[in-house]
Structure 1
Amino acid sequence: MRIRLVKQQTGGHLVTAILDDGVEMHVAETDHDHVVPHEISHLALEGTLGFAYGFWGCVSRGALFNGMRVLSGRGEQEALAVSQTVRKEAGARFINAEIMVAAIEENYPGARVGDVEECRELAMKNYTALSDLLAAADLPEATRRWAELVGAWADVPRGGAMERDWVSAAEPIDKDAPVSNQ
């Protein structure tokens, strides 16, 4: 899947995706500045950490979430049916990916903490239901990838775009740990 992030003149962003089967989707749009669009965090962290059914993994299979729509390549009824199937298949794994991304975003090394292991400890403390996943996660690689994408986004001028391919980890892990209420 090819993901395109456009930095709008307002500083907001527009995100579209072209799935491997040619379906084009409107994923997200904001009209206000984001230092780091949340979709970039998902792109960096889910792929590196192996969340096959995180946000981008679900989108790549045809899932639609709030504010999303199919632009071309699939009719509305078919798109809704595919989305329902993918979302049911994903189950709690999608929520766990969202929580993992939030845990790392909130404690990102260099922003609030000094290093990756401090990030891991704080995230484990604040998201206890995901402690086992966080303990095993390759956070150094995930945060390196995140910093790389954050830097690339910072270099995009207003009106410019950044494109990336969605590539999940070679051996995606089904993240079925209990979900935290946080």
Structure 2
Amino acid sequence: MLVVFAHSTSGPTVATLHRGDGVVLQLPGYDRKYRVPHDLAHFATERTFEMSGGVFGSIAAGAVFAGMRVLSGRPRHDAAARSRLVLDGCKQSLGLAELIAGMVHHAVETGVPEQAPALVRKAWGALETGEPPWPDERAAEAARVLSELAGDFEAAGSVRVTWPDHLVAAVPPARGIRRGRRGRT
């Protein structure tokens, strides 16, 4: 999935997502106060941590968040139901992605990217006991990637990135729908 982050005419950042199914979506940012776009932090962190159930993996699977709009293409006949299924199935991983991306974003936004591993560890400790499932190097890499993308964004006013196909969220089966043929009586 191609993602283009750019400044919008109204101020905040806008991400334009070109999904594999031909649908082009717009994801508005709500980050006027930040130098580094928050959704760019999600992208860098989720890709580096290989979070298929985060914001971008969910969108690639068919989720549409509030505020998003279809720019072009033809959504599936069951697009709204599919979006609900994906969002319900990814609820926990979306929360984790928000927490971890927030820590990486904070480290880069404040100009101290080397603090990302400690912030991620601290955030993990607020959720779970024990060590995080990722090495500190993963958080450091996410901060490095975000710093590079933020620099490109500041210099050019936009940045084009690709979301990997292997990081698309799984679509849970619909509940309450029986599949297959019914037995004859």
TM-score, scaled relative to structure 2: 0.75
- What's the RMSD between the two structures over aligned residues? 3.0
1:125 counterpart (103, 122, 127): 122
Equivalent positions of 1:53-92 (< 5 A) are 53-75=53-75, 78-92=78-92
What per-residue deviation string (whole Å, max 9, x for no partner) do you get for residues 95-150 of structure 1? 111111112223x16836472xx432244234421552355661222111111101
Which of these two proteins has the greater Rg computed from alpha carbons? Answer: 2
Q: Displacement, 1:9?
A: 4.6
Is 1:101 the counterpart of 2:101 in the alignment? yes
Distance in 1 between residues matched to 2:77 and 2:83, nearest whole Å: 10
Distance in 2 between residues matched to 1:135 and 1:99, nearest whole Å: 17
Taking a change above 3 Å as real, the CA distance of residues 123 and 20 of structure 1, as seen in their structure-2 partners, is: same
Q: Displacement, 1:86?
A: 1.1
Answer yes or no: is the 8 Å Cα contact 1:3–1:18 preserved in 2.
Answer: yes
Distance in 2 between residues matched to 1:33 and 1:91, nearest whole Å: 27
Distance in 1 between residues matched to 2:145 and 2:41, nearest whole Å: 9
Structure 2 letter corresponding to 1:24: V
What is residue 111 of structure 1 aligned with on the other side? 110
Answer yes or no: is the 8 Å Cα contact 1:14–1:28 preserved in 2.
Answer: yes
What is residue 162 of structure 2 aligned with on the other side? 165
Q: Secondary structure at the match of 2:78?
A: helix
Distance in 2 between residues matched to 1:76 and 1:141, nearest whole Å: 36
Distance in 1 between residues matched to 2:63 and 2:117, nearest whole Å: 30
Q: Secondary structure at the match of 1:150?
A: helix
Q: How many residues were matched structurally?
A: 167
5+ residue gaps, structure 2: 171-185
TM-score, scaled relative to structure 1: 0.76
Taking a change above 3 Å as real, the CA distance of residues 27 and 171 of structure 1, as seen in their structure-2 partners, is: closer
5+ residue gaps, structure 1: 175-182
Answer yes or no: is the 8 Å Cα contact 1:63–1:82 preserved in 2.
Answer: yes
Q: Percent identity?
A: 26
Q: Displacement, 1:162?
A: 2.3
Structure 1 letter corresponding to 2:95: I
What per-residue deviation string (whole Å, max 9, x for no partner) do you get for residues 18-49 of structure 1? 10111111111559464111110011110011
Q: Secondary structure at the match of 1:50?
A: coil
